[in-house]
Amino acid sequence: MRLYIFLAWEKIAPLLPTNGGRGRQWKRHRIVLNGILWKFNTGAPWRDIPERYGSWKTCYYRFTRWQQDGTWERLLTHVQTHSDAVSEVEWIVSVDSTIVRAHQHAAGAPKLADKKGNLHFQNEALGQSRGGLTTKIHLACDGKGRLLSVVITPGHRHDCTQLEPLLNAIRVPRRGKGRPRKRPDRLIADRGYSYPTCRRLLVQRGIPHTIPEKRDQYERLSKKPGRPLTFDKELYAHRNVIERCINRLKQWRGIATRYEKRAVYFRAALLIVSLMDWLKH
């Protein structure tokens, strides 16, 4: 375990900012980063971070500042780029979503106005349900179950509405010259994406896909003349990698239950946990 932590730190340490601006020196990044990881691993409040990681305010401000300047995004992108350069990324991409319960403290952010001027908290990816407030995590992962892109929405948002944003968020730069890799070799999804709009989108982008038909759709299409419907069950079974990816994410208590008031901070937490998952593999 200590060897893994050491190797992970050696990979990301050169990419971290070197100073805090205004002539100030950062407190040791490794201590603060461990404090941030401890917070999301336990799901504890920021104020409960142990003193061995320094001031909780330092951990919180470092976390929010690096979210605002895109540091967490750059770290994850760098690791993805390195893996793709050595052909470790499997471009058979699976997409799915999972719902997490939002703690009552997650609803404390000031409500924002939509285009019509109505105040509500759906701008912070919080949806109302019978069980309370929920957030849905839409994610795409590679063939090894490692996160490629993530979108968060209110818990009641349907999966098929977020397929295009998920595909747009996949962007793995190449080392040297060349455009970033955006298009999977194949996409695997469940029946939640079995809609004409989703299939049309994938055909327009030239992405082969394996998505099972719903029963009523299959019965209707099977009666039409033309090629018989085919479905590769063995290839579809490979979709379980995204289920394992979701399971690993939810082993972090700060992800299994949302405590962050702002959606951008909860998404940053997902990027940090995913970064650790990429470094572990």
Whichever domain contains 238, its CATH number is 3.30.420
- Note whether residue 126 is domain-resident: yes
pTM of the model: 0.88
Number of domains within the chain:
1
- Note whether residue 51 is domain-resident: no
* 174: number of Cβ within 10 Å: 12
CB 98 within 8 A of CB 151: no
- Note whether residue 273 is domain-resident: no
- Note whether residue 140 is domain-resident: yes
- Note whether residue 251 is domain-resident: yes
- Note whether residue 103 is domain-resident: yes
- Note whether residue 15 is domain-resident: no
Nearest of 28, 36, 3 to residue 275 by alpha carbon: 36
Nearest of 262, 224, 221, 240 to residue 106 by alpha carbon: 262
Q: Which domain holds residue 182?
A: 89-261
List beta partners, residue 133.
128
- Note whether residue 111 is domain-resident: yes
Q: pLDDT by residue for the chain (281 residues), tens digit each? A: 343 455 577 778 888 877 655 556 666 888 899 999 999 999 999 999 999 998 999 999 999 999 999 999 999 999 999 999 999 999 999 999 999 999 988 887 766 555 565 555 557 888 888 878 999 999 999 999 999 999 999 999 999 999 999 999 999 998 878 889 999 999 999 988 988 899 999 999 999 999 888 766 655 666 666 655 567 888 999 999 999 999 999 999 999 999 999 999 999 999 999 999 998 87
